[in-house]
Chains A and B, each alone.
Chain A
Amino acid sequence: MSEALLEVRDLEVYFPIKKGVLKKTTGNVKAVNGLNLSVNKGETLGIVGESGCGKSTLARTILGLEKPTSGDILIEGESILNYSAKQMHRLRRDVQMVFQDPFTSLNPRMKVSEIIAAPLKAYKMTDNIEQRVKELMDLVGLKPEYHDRLPHEFSGGQRQRIGIARAIALKPKLIVCDEPVSALDVSVQAQVINLFEDLQKELDLTYVFIAHDLSVIKHIADKVSVMYLGKMMERSDSESFYNHAQHPYTNALLSAIPLPDPGKEKTRERIVLKGELPSPANPPTGCVFHTRCPIARDYCKENTPQLERKGNEEHEVACFFPIEKGMVEAGSENLLR
């Protein structure tokens, strides 16, 4: 696996919970709790999970904005955790981020051209900077005439394009996208998703693409990882993933997404999970999903499943009793209430 551009090994990121006047640490929010992943050059890794499962924390840690409690992050085979400030600065050129909220991720007092030029200036690439900014704007589908407007003069989708232009300005190798289309309107989402795909082809980019919606991921990702309470539940190439998801949680996620097709909706069998997401400060013992799992057994409460290959080569599941193909569609008794 020498070709992996990004590798994350046994990553743990904990936030201390401080209580009382003395700010004593009474526990930890285990935002990321033992996570492994790797992304090859030119690939898109989709990461899905519910709110609070640690997706943003993972993204921020990869970007060096959060210090991991333990574990390692490697870029092109080199650990970045002990990088000096100077090395970090150099690394930042290669790893960029696109943020979820197009309204807060742009400085309201800077012109579009300044926002897009900021990374270029930070790396003293000031030759032809105006020309470069105009090219970038053109590339992401913004009219270069708008270069001296302020962010509030743009719509959400256009702002997200500005954010994307800023991220690609330095020709990075990896872009971490933290729910880049979640805040956008339905009619604009497709434009931005297509833009990501086009840029990938044109600039040979690698994406870590975070979303909470498996249908968005289906249109963009080559590989998919499912997170739950800071852990990886299932990972696979998209083909095998959407063809036969094995983890009960993944199946629940898939069946929770409403299809814009009333006919299919009427006849569809679905797993409706009971209960709520447990607190990451106090995750359940054993398999973290057992409290909501429709097929959990006593065994799952005491033993923690590891990611393991089941069947297909690239397809790994952290479950003792993975779901067999066709079980959900058939409305298998023990799966559905």
Chain B
Amino acid sequence: MFKNKRNLLAAGVLLLIIVATITASLWLKFPPTHIDPEARLLSPSGKNWFGTDHFGRDIFGLTIVAARVTLFVGVVVALLSTVLGTITGLIAGYYKKAEFIIMRIIDGMLAFPALLLALALVAALGGNVTNIIIALTFAFWPVMTRIVRSAVLQVNNIQYIEAAKTTGTGDLVILFRYILPNVLSPIIVQGTFIFAKAILAEAALSFLGVGIDPSTPTWGTMLQESQVYITIAPWFSIFPGVAIVITVLALNMLGDGLRDAFDPHKKNQKKSTKKLFRNRKQKYA
């Protein structure tokens, strides 16, 4: 899939951000803890590339370090939602009896907009990284359940599942050896999108002031703090904003790329000997 320039670019950008934020302490000239009252709200210059904030901290360094928590929240939310959604989706898709209960719960949760749900939860739990992760996971996993379940329903109808049953293969083996590998692609694609959505949602919550404690630098908290200075120091808002846009864009591009890469129709697959006999079924349907 990396033959495609777009995918390569997206993956490159993400990798760069991740490496930069992890290794930040090794190479940043001005650590974000470095407060300089003399140099408050300076505009971008050769010394402070992105300018400085109201404490005189270097915004470039701040943006880089803030990526840490932001990406951490995104990754963990994406992973947790994927795991939860996959397990519930597999169960709901495979066991007819469990399906009804799980899907009613999911439908109920999906009736609320995800952000509103998260907002309510954070308001109830209090704003810190753990709670934000819990709230966002709660908001996003139902979508994953849905997607996994419908993929499972499709795969479950394919004959090799039936064949596995007739050879005496147990349910667990069927779920994890036969079904899961064949529904992995929508899971990975959706996981990438949840990653992107979680970053946006974290920023939105923090911006609204219910998110992560403002003393922890994230792109969201930076945006929130910069609000007051938007007219006199627009760079304070612009750079974390641009960071969010770039990351989310890259993730979405990657997700699309993955989707295309997994899509069998886009690959040049071997033509089946007699696809026609598959149509015979539909004839009297």
Direct interface between A and B, CB < 8 A: yes
Task: Evaluate contact between B173 and A108: CB separation under 8 angstroms.
Answer: no
Knowing A106-B160, A107-B160, A184-B273 are in contact, say whether A101-B278 is a contact too (CB < 8 A): yes
Q: A92 at interface (Cβ–Cβ under 8 A)? A: yes
Q: Looking at A65, A101, A155, A279, which has the most chain B CB atoms within 10 Å of its CB?
A: A101
Task: Evaluate contact between B164 and A118: CB separation under 8 angstroms.
Answer: yes
Contact partners of A101 in chain B: CB under 8 A: 159, 277-278
Contact partners of B274 in chain A: CB under 8 A: 156, 182-185
Q: B4 at interface (Cβ–Cβ under 8 A)? A: no
Contact partners of B158 in chain A: CB under 8 A: 104
CA–CA, A101 and B281, complex, Å = 12
Closest to A119 in B: B167
Tell me which residues from 261 to 278 in chain B have a Cβ below 8 Å from any Cβ of chain A.
269-270, 272-274, 277-278
Contact partners of B278 in chain A: CB under 8 A: 101, 104
From B162, B167, B269, B283, contact of A122 by CB (8 A)? B167
Q: B178 at interface (Cβ–Cβ under 8 A)? A: yes
> Would you give the shortest CB distance from B271 to chain A, in whole angstroms?
10
Contact partners of A93 in chain B: CB under 8 A: 168
Task: Evaluate contact between A105 and B160: CB separation under 8 angstroms.
Answer: yes
Contact partners of A107 in chain B: CB under 8 A: 160, 164, 177-178, 181-182
Knowing A97-B163, A156-B273 are in contact, say whether A51-B178 is a contact too (CB < 8 A): no
Closest to B169 in A: A122
Contact partners of A289 in chain B: CB under 8 A: none
Contact partners of A109 in chain B: CB under 8 A: 181-182
Task: Evaluate contact between B168 and A123: CB separation under 8 angstroms.
Answer: yes
Task: Evaluate contact between B277 and A65: CB separation under 8 angstroms.
Answer: no
From A52, A166, A167, contact of B284 by CB (8 A)? A52
Q: B166 at interface (Cβ–Cβ under 8 A)? A: yes
Closest to A53 in B: B284
Closest to B184 in A: A109
A interface: dominant SS: loop
Q: A277 at interface (Cβ–Cβ under 8 A)? A: yes
Q: Looking at B158, B273, B281, which has the most chain A CB atoms within 10 Å of its CB?
A: B273
Q: B165 at interface (Cβ–Cβ under 8 A)? A: yes
Task: Evaluate contact between B284 and A105: CB separation under 8 angstroms.
Answer: no
Q: B170 at interface (Cβ–Cβ under 8 A)? A: yes
Q: B5 at interface (Cβ–Cβ under 8 A)? A: no
> Would you give the shortest CB distance from B67 to chain A, in whole angstroms?
36
Q: A99 at interface (Cβ–Cβ under 8 A)? A: yes
Task: Evaluate contact between B269 and A65: CB separation under 8 angstroms.
Answer: no
> Would you give the shortest CB distance from A30 to chain B, in whole angstroms?
13
Tell me which residues from 120 to 169 in chain A have a Cβ below 8 Å from any Cβ of chain B.
121-123, 152, 155-156, 163, 166-167, 169
Q: B280 at interface (Cβ–Cβ under 8 A)? A: yes
Task: Evaluate contact between B163 and A152: CB separation under 8 angstroms.
Answer: no
Contact partners of B269 in chain A: CB under 8 A: 152
CA–CA, A138 and B235, complex, Å = 72
Contact partners of A52 in chain B: CB under 8 A: 283-284
CA–CA, A63 and B165, complex, Å = 9
Q: A242 at interface (Cβ–Cβ under 8 A)? A: no
Chain A proximity mask over B53-68: 1 for CB below 8 Å, otherwise 0: 0000000000000000
Task: Evaluate contact between A99 and B159: CB separation under 8 angstroms.
Answer: yes
Q: A330 at interface (Cβ–Cβ under 8 A)? A: no
CA–CA, A95 and B158, complex, Å = 20
Contact partners of A119 in chain B: CB under 8 A: 167-169
Q: A110 at interface (Cβ–Cβ under 8 A)? A: yes
Knowing A93-B168, A96-B166, A105-B163 are in contact, say whether A156-B272 is a contact too (CB < 8 A): yes
Tell me which residues from 127 to 180 in chain B have a Cβ below 8 Å from any Cβ of chain A.
158-160, 162-170, 173, 177-178
Task: Evaluate contact between A118 and B167: CB separation under 8 angstroms.
Answer: yes
Contact partners of B166 in chain A: CB under 8 A: 63, 65, 92, 95-97
Tell me which residues from 241 to 285 in chain B have a Cβ below 8 Å from any Cβ of chain A.
269-270, 272-274, 277-278, 280-281, 283-284
CA–CA, A87 and B173, complex, Å = 19
Q: A325 at interface (Cβ–Cβ under 8 A)? A: no
Closest to A102 in B: B273
CA–CA, A277 and B283, complex, Å = 11
Contact partners of A51 in chain B: CB under 8 A: 280-281, 283-284
> Would you give the shortest CB distance from B235 to chain A, in whole angstroms?
50
Knowing A65-B162, A97-B163, A277-B284 are in contact, say whether A110-B177 is a contact too (CB < 8 A): yes
CA–CA, A123 and B169, complex, Å = 8
Contact partners of A92 in chain B: CB under 8 A: 166-168
| Other A-B pairs beyond A92-B168, A123-B168, 12, CB < 8 Å | A96-B166, A96-B167, A101-B278, A104-B159, A105-B162, A106-B163, A107-B177, A107-B181, A156-B274, A163-B163, A182-B274, A183-B277
12 contacts between A and B (CB under 8 A): A95-B166, A96-B166, A101-B159, A103-B273, A107-B178, A109-B181, A152-B269, A166-B167, A170-B167, A184-B274, A185-B273, A277-B284
Query: Which 4 A-B residue pairs are closest in the complex by CB-CB distance?
Result: A119-B167, A156-B273, A122-B168, A105-B159
